[in-house]
Amino acid sequence: MKNRELIKIIDEIKVMQQPQQYFINDGIFPNSILPVLYYPNGLQLPLLFSAMHVKNIFEKNDWGNNWRSGIYTYHHYHSITYEAMAIIKGKTILQLGGDNGIELTVQKGDVLVIPAGIAHKNLGNEKDVIAIGGYPGGRNYDMNYGNPGERPTTDSNIKKLPVPSTDPLLGNANGVPKIWKTARQRANKKN
């Protein structure tokens, strides 16, 4: 077996790991019945061109409209799309779900998939990390901040969103589609 083939297999095994799941449904933000998916050290990044590497993976798996930047230091959420973020440089603490939400330390190689409605904020400096972001189907995104008047419109937008058909890392029906469809079914049974 060639070294490249072995490295590819090792990379694929790392990505196949089950993500950690965080259910967040509290506060002034809509948040979600869907869990935040966190793949700690989900990507083995090359030394050079790591941004291009992640963008290629996301785009191959139909998570486009990519961006490269730090993470905002104020609470914000999206109501018309879901968001995937891969950390390509640095380390910081993200707060998910608003002031009473969870805190999660993220670093280079980690990947998060954030459901629409989940507020997220960098508790460090904006440029403590550099991330690559993407949205299923290359959707546009909106910016919401938990201000009066955003809801119930944002709640309605979130309810209309279908579960993505691909995972930003795996690309197939496992990961995001499988986990989120199951979470949605469980939530519907409770109601």
How many domains does the chain divide into? 1
pLDDT digits (tens, 9 = 90+) for 97-139: 999 899 999 999 999 999 999 999 999 999 999 999 999 999 9
Q: State residue 2's pLDDT score.
A: 54
Whether residue 17 is contained in a domain is answered as no
Cα R_g (the chain), whole angstroms: 16
Whether residue 71 is contained in a domain is answered as yes
The CATH code of the domain that includes 170 is: 2.60.120.10
Whether residue 158 is contained in a domain is answered as yes
Domain that holds residue 185: 26-190
Q: State residue 13's pLDDT score.
A: 43
Whether residue 39 is contained in a domain is answered as yes
**Does 14 score more than 60 pLDDT?**
no
